[in-house]
Structure 1
Amino acid sequence: MNEIKQLIDKLNSTTQEHQILTASATRQLEIMKTEMKALEKFDTMQVIKGRQTIEVLRTDLDSCKKEVKALTQLPQLPQGTCPRSRLVSVTGPVFYTEGEYPGLYSYGAWGCDPKPEKGKENWYWLVMMTSNNRYSNYIRFYSSLNSLIRGVSAPGNVYIHTSNPTTNTIQGPNNVLYGGALYYNCYNRDAVCHFNLTTKHVTTLELHQGTRYNSKANFCHLEECYPYTDLDLATDESGVWVVFTTSLDFGNMILSKVEGGEPPALGKTWQTSVYKQAVTNTFMACGVLYATRYVNQELEEIFYSFNTVTGKE
């Protein structure tokens, strides 16, 4: 009997342990079931989100394709007024020369007429600031570039006036010759003078109200300003341009087209975002304004351009 009783007790004990294990296993299975359902739901959501992302990307791709197609069909805006597009590089100087009067005159201008009179296609001109590095009253001509380099002037000087300076003589070095006429800043005025080399007659062009002049809006760099460079005349294949600034434009550069005639007229005007006294020089090519800034005594860089065709900087 005792053996039977011990066997029954052992069986009951084993059954209780199994019940405990069964209950524990059941709880763990329930937890696993819950986690599996959560994972299944998570996977389903990720698949749905993935499909939604793919649809968004597909829509964006289709939109991009349409935009690219539309852009390729747009007419290409010209880079200025020349068929060869915008300026891409500038070479170094072609030659160095001390000129006809080495060491005497620090400021002036020289060049050739982009629209020369008949028989003067090879002529070069020179304007030197012969009074206080500020003023001049004549233009000097050379029959060729070689004559300019050698300092052999022929046919010689053409005088605007016998006095220097006086009314309508030259103030500042930023002068240009175009179509047989010299364009320059009139002495002691916020105006452009037009000197006809054939008739020897001077006409004037008034600039905008508040135009800065008399060395109040010069080209500059950090260490120096160039005196009496308030107005900068420039030429390209289309004609004459003038760069200046006014008190109303907070010193930023303004570009205006100078229309030919006697007197000349002020054409279309463009405002820029560049402060004039942060610039050392400007020039025009194919209807595009270019501005330079100082790097060192032997080097400047073109850092800015303004396209008058597109109106974009």
Structure 2
Amino acid sequence: MWMKVILLVSSLVLASEGQSRATFQRGNDHSGRCQYTFTVDSPAEASCASANRGPEMENVKSRLTLLEVMVSRVLGGGGSGGRAMVDAQVVLERDQLQQDKEQLNRQVQELQRRVEELTVETGRLRDQPCPSAHGIPTLQDFSQNTDHGESRKTPRGNQYYSLVSRQHRSQGKSPALQAPVGSYPTFQLGNAAFQELKAEVSEVPAPHRVQESIQNHTGCGEVVSVGVPQTHRKADGISGKYGVWLQDPESPGVPYGPETVWRIDTVGKDIKQIFAYENMQQLVRGFPSKVVLLPEPVESTGATVYRGSLYYQRKRSRTLIRFDLASENLAARQDLPHAGFHGQYPYSWGGYTDIDLAVDEEGLWAIYSTSKAKGAIVIAKINPDTLQVLQTWETNIRKNTVANTFMVCGRLYTVASYSSPNTTLNYVYDTRTKESRAMAVPFQNRYRYNSMIDYNPANRKLYAWDNFHMVTYDVRLGRPGSV
């Protein structure tokens, strides 16, 4: 009510400012109440139509009522309305960020695919022999197309070459390679009938260390080099970011042979499935021949396959399990004494890798730590039938400072980093001498998140799971200290 009075008074005052004739009267009405009367002459109207004044006032009243309602809403319900607006803005921003994230993920996947293609192409080009410049035959060409100095026709341009060795040796000269006139214009000088290309061949003995490595290639020795990773397959979906894949180095042959590939995706709440592939080609194609259900869930990426059985750590425990793959039965179970588990002593990349089972030329091993060892790596030789601990070795290498480990010929090797593309095998511990020492054998993490490394003594390869990718490395052995 007071707002209406104020608006009426204001309009009358403004009208009075614009007119020259305005009167103000004060007096009592018929009931004795005091009244104020303002009189302003209209510049446009001679008389007022009282019938038209009613709708205009009703319009003003309705607008004022609407204004009052809006003001009351702002003053009374401002908290909930403000929160609703903020929540709506947050939802919009969240949706936009999700779209940006999906777009960036697609770009990252495309870049990874292109990098992988370029890497494969680089390896293919590296393996190809370099062609001879300008079609000039190399010594290898002559060695393949000559026999004890006799002239033979080569497939290149139907040219004839002669390796003159016996005559020149008898004359005390170096062997020479002769080509017919006009074969290579670039080498013709003046009116010379032909250009003689000379090549002296001599035998150079291999360095002592190389000879040692070659001699020990068929037997046990120390790792002297690890080859570049070869990619076999990329896992599909988020469940394949971490996992285990390997082949049995001592397969019984029935029903699974040495070519069978085993794979476990270790991302999930309860990991109980192991996939069997007939061979590496079927793994690449993604066609498993069988899916086996395990009796107990798997913990992390420390499982291994040996002599027809899967060996793994039961989830959230220090219990080791031997699962017979042929009969699909639990063959043995045994606690690993004092071993830490479920994040007490993992590798540097995490993943509950407290207990890592490994196989080499000498049998089955467990790599772990205990509270007594205070986080240092403990190696245990395990009976593959009963899972009993036969012997243990405590090293001076802290488990959480290395990315992963594997066993070769009774020696433990540690990998320095799981994410650096160019890292090293940085320590080796020999269970025979009970000594460890630093080393620097180059090692590559091509996809920059290596969560599993296992050695296969049957083919001298490392099997690794690197950020969705299943890769292998060739391993070369030599005598201890030959690196």
Specify the TM-score bucket, using the shorter chain as the normaliser. Answer: 0.5 to 0.7
Tell me if the contact between 1:109 and 1:174 (Cα under 8 Å) persists in the aligned partners.
yes
- Cα shift at 1:183: 0.8
- The answer to whether the 8 Å contact 2:239/2:266 transfers is no
Equivalent of 1:214, from 342, 348, 362?
Answer: 342
Matches within 5 A, 1:104-253: 104-119=239-254, 120-132=257-269, 135-154=270-289, 156-161=290-295, 168-202=296-330, 203-209=332-338, 211-220=339-348, 225-253=349-377
What residue identity is the alignment partner of 1:83? G
**Partner of 1:88: helix, strand, or coil?**
strand
Distance of 2:391 and 2:358 partners within structure 1 = 15
- Residue by residue, what CA displacement relative to the aligned partner does 1:92-119 show, whole Å, maximum 9, x if unpaired? 11225313x2443211100100111215
Evaluate the alpha carbon distance shift between residue 112 and residue 309 of structure 1 in structure 2; reply closer, same or farther with a 3 A threshold.
same
**8 A Cα contact 1:108 1:174, kept in partner:** no
| Structure-to-structure mapping, 1:278-293, within 5 angstroms | 278-293=401-416
Contact in 2 for aligned 1:232/1:243 (Cα 8 Å): yes
Q: Which runs of 5+ in 1 are unaligned?
A: 1-79, 162-167
Using the alignment, how far apart are the partners of 1:305 and 1:137 within structure 2?
33
- Match for residue 233 of structure 2? 97
SS in 1 for 2:364: strand
Alpha-carbon separation, structure 2, partners of 1:201 and 1:193: 11
Shift of 1:130: 4.2
Contact kept in structure 1, 2:233 and 2:283, CA below 8 Å: no
Shift of 1:214: 1.0
Deviation, 1:301, is 1.4
Structure 1 pair 214–293 and aligned structure 2 pair: CA distance change class (3 A): same
Instruction: Supply the distance in 2 between the matched residues of 1:149 and 1:125 (Cα, whole angstroms).
Output: 12
| Matched-pair contact (CA < 8 Å) for 1:180–1:198 | yes
More displaced 10-residue stretch of structure 1: 179-188 or 268-277:
179-188
TM-score (norm: length of structure 2) = 0.43
Structure 2 residue 255 is the aligned partner of structure 1 residue 255: no
Contact 2:403 2:418 in 1 (8 A): no
Give 3-state SS (helix, strand or coil) of 1:294's partner: coil
Deviates more, 1:90-99 or 1:110-119: 90-99
Q: Kindly report the root-mean-square deviation, in angstroms, between the aligned alpha carbons of the 2 structures.
A: 1.9
Matched, 1:86 2:86: no
Q: C-alpha distance in 2, partners of 1:205/1:305?
A: 28
Confirm or deny: 8 A CA contact 1:205 1:266 kept in the other structure: no
CA drift at 1:199: 2.8
- Residue 232 of structure 1: how far off its partner (Å): 0.6
Whole-angstrom CA distance in 2 between matches of 1:104 and 1:190: 24
Q: Deviations over 1:101-158 (max 9, x none)?
A: 24432111001001112151211100111414xx41121111111211221111x111
Letter of the 2:335 counterpart: E
1:205-256: per-residue Cα shift (whole Å, max 9, x none)? 21122x2101121111xxxx32110111111122211100001111000000
Q: Which residue number in structure 2 is paired with residue 31 of structure 1?
A: none
CA contact (8 A) 2:312 2:357 kept: yes
Letter in 1 for 2:293: Y
Identity of aligned residues (%): 25
User: What per-residue deviation string (whole Å, max 9, x for no partner) do you get for residues 40-59 of structure 1?
Assistant: xxxxxxxxxxxxxxxxxxxx
Q: Which amino acid aligns with 1:124?
A: V
What SS does the corresponding residue of 1:240 show, helix, strand or coil? strand
Q: TM-score under structure 1 normalisation? A: 0.65
Q: Per-residue deviation at 1:197?
A: 1.2
The 8 Å contact of residues 271 and 297 in structure 2, kept in 1 or not, is answered as yes
Larger radius of gyration: 2
* One-letter amino acid matched to 1:159: L
Task: Specify the SS of the correspondent of 2:435.
Answer: coil
**Do the aligned partners of residues 97 and 118 (structure 1) sit closer, same or farther apart at CA in structure 2, a change above 3 Å counting?**
closer
What amino acid is the match of 1:201?
A: N
2-structure distance, mates of 1:266, 1:255: 10
- Name structure 2 gaps, 5 residues minimum: 1-215, 437-483
Distance (whole Å) between structure 2 residues aligned to residue 299 and residue 208 of structure 1: 36
Question: Is contact 2:341-2:354 (8 Å) kept?
Answer: yes
